[in-house]
Structures are given as structure tokens and as C-alpha cells.
Amino acid sequence: MQVLSTALLIVIAVLLFGFLIFFHELGHFLLAKLSGIRVNEFALGMGPRLFGFRRGETEYALRLLPIGGFCAMEGEDEASGDERAFGNKPVWKRILVVAAGGIFNIFLGFVLMLGVLAPQKIYATTVISQFTEDSATSAAGAQAGDRIVEIDGYAIYTDRDLSFAMALADPKAIGMVVERDGRRIGLGQFAMNTQTLEDGTEVVALDFYVRPEERSFFGLLGRAGADTFSMARMVVESLKGLLTGRFGLNEVAGPVGTAQAISQVAGAGLSQGFGQAVSNIVVMMIMITVNLGIINLLPLPALDGGRLLFLIWEGLTRKPVPPKYEGYVHAAGFALLLGLMVLVTFHDVWRIITG
């Protein structure tokens, strides 16, 4: 029974991952239609076409592989005489269409976050309620009622920010700022109590409790928005860590590593019930969809953000970059991106094999 449940969770995870990519393309599709751009095909899935139908000018198709989809617009990558072609629309409309995919991914993260938070009756805050025995945080000068607002320079707005910052902190020298009676008070740097994980890693052990907050309708909306924003900040901070060398290849996961992580969190959730396992998967999906949204909007070749950069240049100079040269840039970026994906996937497999 355990094996069947795990297998079912993996299938659910694969389908959900495909849905996240499909939802990204749906953003392009809806904004293209609203902008009067001709969409030749909108497909669910990739690979060989299974079946489809035509409605108006657009072919709607279901394809074999459940790993996303695509939105093929007229004149998207080549010149077209059709007045409704992508390239013949005003630059501001093209910017909206290109940006819509990433924005839809982030919005989906918000909707999924609502689904995760709605069943909860109380939420954790960042206000300290009490301390454990021999608390290093208390010894550093923190008091009950203090709101934690910064850890090692990282702004704290939600308990997710707090957990993320604590996970990255150096247990031997953590810097904390709290808000007390409307004033910001720095506690300086101090050593936190620690605990050792199974792999030997030493991490911060929380030595205080935070106040709960009761659920309300508007509180739920605000909390879902704040938590989604927190996840977006985690993505940005993680990318900064990769660029500065703080994180290495071991902290990067491709599709194989992501599937393994989903399987692990699902397995952990199964010990508490199938519903908890699904909830764990949804939280992973939120992180993945926010990742997709943020990364796709970065100004990198072959990504939506790279195309946005060219469109913004066109809007500022009133002169588009010749399609030939833009194509060269995106082709080179795609080759580099593909090479990175191969490297990360190989590392994922090697990590699984070697444990």
C-alpha cells in the first residue's frame, strides 16, 4: 500500500509540474488573444500530437508528453504580413504578452498558497511569545513581545522569512534586529544554540516561540500574498548565492532532483496521512511555480526576460534590434541553458546513485 501511495504521489507530482508549465503558456495565450494577436496553435503537452480541434483561427491540441505546452503566435519568430502578427503589434502589447507567462506563474503560486493556508485555523507570526530554557536569543537581549525584523541583513516579514534566514545563518555569529515599542533595536552578533542533523550538518536550534495569529478572510488573503512574496525573495536570494559562490552545485536541482525532492516530502507526509503528503507536494509546487516565474523574467537570452530586454530597448529607441541578431543571441542562450540543464541533470543522477 505504501509503494502504491508513493507511486501515485509521483504521478501527481509529474502532472502538476506539467501543469505549471502549461499555466505559464496560458498566460501568453490569454494576453495574446486580448491584444488581438493571432494564435495559430495552443497545445497541452509536448511531442507528437494525439488529437485536437480548430475553433476560429486557433488549433487546440493535446500532445503525448504531459510536460507543459506551448502557444504558437503568428510572426513570433519571423516576419509576417498579417496585421495581427505578434511582430506587427505595438511594443507595449508585446511586452505584456511576453511578461504574462512569468506573472501567471507567480499568480498561480498565490492561488495555491491560498489553498494551503485556508484549512489552517492559526498562523505563525514573527513576534516572540516566550523563550526556551537557556535561550541564547533571550541572553542577547530579546524580550517577549519583540518582533523580529532582520537577521543577518535579511528583512523578516513572515515566519517563512524567519525560517529561511535561520537556515542560512551562521550559528556561531548570528545578527538579529527586533522591533520593540516602535523602535528598531539591534541585538548585535551572538552564538545560537545548535543541533546536528543526520548528515552531520550543524544548524541553528530555535530557542524561542512566536505568537499565533487567528485566521480571518482578509488575513488569509494578506498572508497568502506575503508568503508568496517571501518565496519570491527566497528565489532571488538563492540566485544571488549561486552567483557569489555561497551555494554550490550540490544546492542546485534539475528535473530529476526536483522529482526526488517531491518524492521525499511526499513520503514524509505519508506518515501523517495522504492529505498531508498532497499538501507537501503543493507547497513544493508553489516554490517551483514562483521559481519559474522569477527565472523566466530575468533578462537572460532564450528566456522571456531576454525577449523583454529587446522589447524595452525597442520601446526606448523606437528601433527594433534586427531579428537575425536577436535570434543569434537567443540561440546562444538556449545552447548554454541546455548545457546547464544537462550538467545539473547528470549531477542529480550521480547524487542519487552515490547517495
Q: What is the mean pLDDT of residues 117-123?
A: 91
Q: What is residue 223's predicted lDDT score, i.e. its pLDDT? A: 94
Least confident of 3-17, 96-110, 183-197, 246-260: 246-260
> Residue 175: pLDDT above 90?
yes
> Residue 337: pLDDT above 60?
yes
More confident residue, 164 or 340: 164
Residue 194 banded pLDDT, cuts 50, 70, 90: confident
Q: What is residue 144's predicted lDDT score, i.e. its pLDDT? A: 94
Q: What is residue 10's predicted lDDT score, i.e. its pLDDT? A: 63
> Residue 349: pLDDT above 80?
no
> Which residues are known to be catalytic?
25
Distance CA 326, CA 329 (A): 5
Q: What is residue 220's predicted lDDT score, i.e. its pLDDT? A: 93
Percent of the chain with pLDDT over 90: 46
Percent of the chain with pLDDT over 70: 82
Residue 268 banded pLDDT, cuts 50, 70, 90: low
Taking a C-beta distance cutoff of 8 angstroms, is the pair 101, 140 a contact? no
The model's pTM is 0.82
Q: What is residue 141's predicted lDDT score, i.e. its pLDDT? A: 92
Q: What is residue 269's predicted lDDT score, i.e. its pLDDT? A: 58
Taking a C-beta distance cutoff of 8 angstroms, is the pair 127, 146 a contact? yes
CATH of domain 122-214: 2.30.42.10
Query: If we measure between CA atoms, which residue out of 235, 252, 12 comes closest to residue 106?
Result: 235
Least confident of 107-111, 142-146, 175-179, 330-334: 330-334
Q: Which region holds residue 350: left if phi is over 0, alpha if psi is between -120 and 50, else beta?
A: alpha
Distance CA 102, CA 173 (A): 37
Q: What is residue 346's predicted lDDT score, i.e. its pLDDT? A: 65
Query: If we measure between CA atoms, which residue out of 261, 237, 262, 258 comes closest to residue 247?
Result: 237
Q: What is residue 341's predicted lDDT score, i.e. its pLDDT? A: 66
> Which tens digits make up the pLDDT trace of 293-329?
998 898 888 789 999 999 999 999 988 888 778 877 8
CB atoms within 10 A of CB 336: 13
Q: What is the mean pLDDT of residues 151-166?
A: 92
> Residue 352: pLDDT above 60?
no
> Residue 257: pLDDT above 60?
no
> Residue 249: pLDDT above 80?
no
> Where does the chain hold its CATH 2.30.42.10 domain(s)?
122-214
Give the helix ranges, DSSP H, for the chain. Answer: 2-34, 91-117, 136-139, 159-168, 217-244, 255-270, 274-296, 304-317, 323-354
